[in-house]
Copies of this chain bind each other. A is one copy, B any other.
Amino acid sequence: MQDAQHIERAIALARNAEGFTHPNPMVGCVLVKDGAVVAEGWHKGPGQEHAEAMALRLAGDAARGAVAYVTLEPCNHHGRTPPCSEALIAAGVAGVVYGLRDVNPLAVGGAERLREAGIPTRLAEGRVRTACAELVRPWVHTLKCWRPWVTAKLAMSLDGFTATTSGESKWITGPEARQRGHDLRQRTGAIIVGVGTVLADNPSLDPRPEGREPAPSLKVVLDSELRTPIDAKLLTTPGVTLIVGHEDADSSRASALEDAGAEVVLLLGEGRPDIKELLRLLKERGQNDVMIESGGTLLGAAFDADVIDEVWAFTAPMILGAGRPAIASKGRTSLANALRLEKTEIEKLGQDTLLRGLKKRSAH
């Protein structure tokens, strides 16, 4: 029970840096002695100290004899910072409780190293282990898969439309839902839109979470013919803008966009850049958690390529009867092949509903 409480605190600490740690995982650590918290730490981002290192630094001599509660098995490798296993041994901690085995092949082995040094280690109990796994789900996914974790954000009427037949879309969902959408932008490292969204809405694409410092995201525009205007708002907001065109695109447009501050990458694809190529590219750039916040065409392409891992569906209590579909696809003929969600959570946001869920991977 005590274990669970300390690990839960460590999870909350880890989330202090939500959106800032990519490509690293969020990690939190609590040092406890005689039932009292001695120090707390969390990983703030690439090149910065690990959660354990921060907690040990703040604890100083008080770390000796304390038990470390960490959301992820302490690392065992010299990366940009020294191994946490060695730091914990040097500090003389009495034990280590962790929420998830490390799956990074470069860093694994921390618990074993600690045990060799005579320090008892163990995994936390069930429920909090699940919460620790959730904390780093996209990071774990990307270590094991050729592409980042992909979250599709939908904002639509009850009958699945993002705009009326005449294209009117402002606003279907209300301010509470739109604000909640910023939490997803904050969490993910890259926000992907299609050029249609840029031309129609001129979005700024920066996370604006309530009461928190925004974590700048990579802003990605899928834009075959490089039609993004050079005065597009997203070119002026924090974070890098990556414009992904088709290999046949006009090179003078590419230069103009680069002059306006964007990075331009041209990809292969049938008529337009291939979504899978884009995701491979994003993984290479260290992205493990990306979101698609676009019209139906790009979301349809992601759906057809079967690369959607998570869905955030904001639904307004409104029926349009027809219009622009949230996901424009040829569809799947059989229910067995539908994209089914599990671990769903429902939130009421003003008049709207948010349903979040993960792609169900088991067979039926």
State the A residues within 8 Å of B (CB).
154, 156-161, 164-166, 168-172, 300, 303-304, 308, 311, 313, 315, 317-323, 325-327, 329-335, 338-342, 344, 346, 348, 351, 353, 355, 357
Q: Are A333 and B168 in contact (CB under 8 A)?
A: yes
**Given the contacts A158-B160, A160-B160, A353-B355, A322 and B331 also touching, CB distance less than 8 Å:** yes
Contacts A335-B164, A348-B346; A322 near B318 (Cβ below 8 A): no
Q: Which 5 A-B pairs have the closest CB atoms?
A: A322-B331, A160-B160, A321-B329, A317-B341, A166-B333
Inter-chain pairs besides A165-B333, A321-B332, 10 sampled, C-beta below 8 Å: A157-B338, A159-B327, A161-B331, A304-B321, A317-B340, A317-B357, A320-B339, A322-B329, A322-B331, A342-B351
Contact B325 A159 (CB under 8 A): yes
Between-chain CB contacts (< 8 Å), 9 pairs: A156-B159, A164-B332, A168-B334, A170-B335, A172-B335, A300-B321, A317-B355, A319-B341, A322-B331
Q: Known contacts A317-B355, A346-B353, A353-B353; is A330 also within 8 Å of B322 by CB?
A: yes
Chain B residues positioned under 8 Å from A160 (CB to CB):
158-161, 325
C-alpha gap A341/B158 in the complex (Å)? 10
Which residues does chain B contribute within 8 Å of A157, judged by CB atoms? 338
The answer to whether A319 and B346 touch (CB under 8 A), given A159-B326, A326-B159, is no
Cα of A239 to Cα of B23 in the assembled complex, Å:
64
Q: Would you call B159 and A355 a contact (CB within 8 A)? A: no
Closest B residue to A323 by CB, please name it: B331
A61–B319 CA distance with the chains assembled, in angstroms: 55
CB-nearest residue of chain B relative to A313? Answer: B158
